[in-house]
Structure 1
């Protein structure tokens, strides 16, 4: 007889159990950073804009009254329309080290996707690649940086055993900040300035912040419109995320490039807030806030989420100028940063990878997206 049961989430109690699964899976894992429970829970509330263009089903595996696994099967109609095929997604997967539990969860998700008319499935994608996505497949010896995934080493093995195949790999690059940049980057910055490009920090207060975020949104849509497996966000979705990060931004590691008053590039850096979040244990109540404020003083590294320049300004060496300013901002007097991570970059993004590697970045973590025919 099976020692567990898999079924859809239908009640508030089961929803709480769904959110709690990672605390069961990662118990004792020193590299795991607990997510904020409220951030996970809000993904499944009716006001989430995902439900305007998608649908989902949550499943949990229960054993002796404890949730030991979970998965979400979803259909993002924007992705189906963009790719022109009936492709579903899975996400939010967590599971104890038992392949039978994993198999049952994936079977439940796959059966639901078939019932929705899907013929393929891809993941992990937590509803959108703008959220958490990818499985870590190499580099388990250190915690993830802010807004990056982490998982047990057995997850990729389980997927491959269950018939999933690699769709695409992505890399995280390590940047030690104690090594000087090649002079070519400062030269690129000066050439960009002589070409009429101006640089400044992101503005983080009031209406100026909102204006910069609208410009960032428009630039994202121009520069990343063709990103694989990605779909555009609405301005509302983008601003909601930006506002949640507003108080966390360090303007010195978020330079903006402009030409004739229009934003044409940026280097998006964030301090690694996973360092204090590790001590919060998923709850930003008053105790959690106090812990966050106390341990944020330990932040000594940061993550570069994106380097962006419109194609027509790459010839003016704007990307080199942004890298120069971003790294210079990180090593300014009084800054705590010892290293940076640039993540993630798809394996076939040759242009970006060459630029990153020329600036001293070294691959130190590998992530993978998987696919399967239904």
Structure 2
């Protein structure tokens, strides 16, 4: 495909893949809030055999060039597990995705999006939902609010110019995802403290830390709760056992026992909360590479991280309890346990909760009740093909 001197081609071979991975370094060269990812991690994300997402998904990557200069990139992909979901939950039959979108200008952006649409259309897709890079569980949505501060671990960052590019290509908002900022050095409001104290006196409730030595078993418990708790949420796609194992291995270096809680009711695990120290605070200075000294710096940091921000990427309560008072009580109890440990053991002062769906009334109410405020908004767009 050409547009004046613009040429778009599928990624083919090692040199193209390297160019695809390297492009953000030029796009964000003057953006102080962009955090360079580890290039090895990005390569693993994109590579079938290294990422179990491809056990149930197909993808094609594209590069845009002007002459010898790479000026844009995009992925087009579809997930067979997403195609099997009910359409009223956001995914469903005929829904493909684009993601990993970067463009130096509007002409590049328009051409890349058109190319991704053509690829999806040729494979029977009738609707596009994006940007999603690559799975809904990774970095979904386009950042439309909160460009003025860096993202936390496993959250996306993009140019503010991309909103006009995507909307200009005929995309309409489908769903917003929000993250909340929280001062964790302050005690929660008196009402929340009373709810937590009441739960602590309830002999039916036990809030426990995960056991890192048995993390595979603990991860299976968390997965079971997650797939049940999130099963009716917009955009939900079940996580496979292979993805749990893969994610567990990837996250294990930043898993700390006092930052992940499982709540039990009558000895049955019914809720969990996962908190991660913001690895981006350590990754930023490494500029995408662990060599020559990055490994040593990162390993030293991971021994006992002192970190300003903690991120809560996942929290869930089984569906049968979600409309009960005990659901919010369990959530407040887990948050308070982790808040105290994050301040005492890691020197943290700030928490970030999210992402949270804009129509998740329960989670949004919990976030507001503890005096957190929205600090970033991500938009997922849709378009019929």
Bucket of the pairwise TM-score, normalised by the shorter protein: over 0.9
**Higher mean Cα deviation, 286-295 or 349-358?**
286-295
Counterpart CA distance in 2 for 1:42 and 1:27 is: 23
Match of 1:40 in 2: 42
Match of 1:53 in 2: 56
Residue 30 of structure 2 corresponds to residue 28 of structure 1: yes
Match of 2:163 in 1: 156
**How much does 1:122 deviate?**
0.5
Match of 1:118 in 2: 125
Contact 2:211-2:257 at 8 Å conserved across structures = yes
TM-score (norm 1): 0.94
Contact 1:169-1:347 at 8 Å conserved across structures = yes
Counterpart CA distance in 2 for 1:261 and 1:92 is: 43
Contact 2:307-2:346 at 8 Å conserved across structures = no
Residue 79 of structure 2 corresponds to residue 76 of structure 1: yes
Residue 348 of structure 2 corresponds to residue 342 of structure 1: no
After TM superposition, the structure 1 = structure 2 runs for residues 252-267 of structure 1, keeping only pairs within 5 Å, are 252-267=258-273
Match of 2:334 in 1: 322
Find the partner of 1:356 among 367, 372, 377. 367
Runs of 4 or more, structure 1, over 6 Å off, are none
Find the partner of 1:15 among 10, 17, 33. 17
Counterpart CA distance in 2 for 1:372 and 1:233 is: 25
Residue 276 of structure 2 corresponds to residue 270 of structure 1: yes
**Higher mean Cα deviation, 219-228 or 293-302?**
293-302
After TM superposition, the structure 1 = structure 2 runs for residues 1-374 of structure 1, keeping only pairs within 5 Å, are 2-47=4-49, 48-82=51-85, 83=87, 84-96=92-104, 98-193=105-200, 194-205=202-213, 208-293=214-299, 299-313=307-321, 314-316=324-326, 317-332=329-344, 334-374=345-385
Number of residue pairs aligned between Structure 1 and Structure 2: 370
Per the alignment, in what secondary structure is the counterpart of residue 293 of structure 2? helix
Counterpart CA distance in 2 for 1:260 and 1:289 is: 44
**Higher mean Cα deviation, 79-88 or 130-139?**
79-88
Which deviations, in whole Å up to 9, do the C-alpha atoms of 1:15-69 show, x marking residues without a partner? Answer: 1111111111111211101112122212332313233322111100112323221
Unaligned runs of 5+ in 1: none
Per the alignment, in what secondary structure is the counterpart of residue 163 of structure 1? coil
Which deviations, in whole Å up to 9, do the C-alpha atoms of 1:117-174 show, x marking residues without a partner? Answer: 1111001112311111111101111000111110011011111112111111111111
**Higher mean Cα deviation, 166-175 or 311-320?**
311-320
Contact 1:202-1:254 at 8 Å conserved across structures = yes
Unaligned runs of 5+ in 2: none
Which deviations, in whole Å up to 9, do the C-alpha atoms of 1:301-350 show, x marking residues without a partner? Answer: 11111232224444332122122212222222x43101111011111111
Counterpart CA distance in 2 for 1:63 and 1:295 is: 41
**Higher mean Cα deviation, 178-187 or 222-231?**
178-187
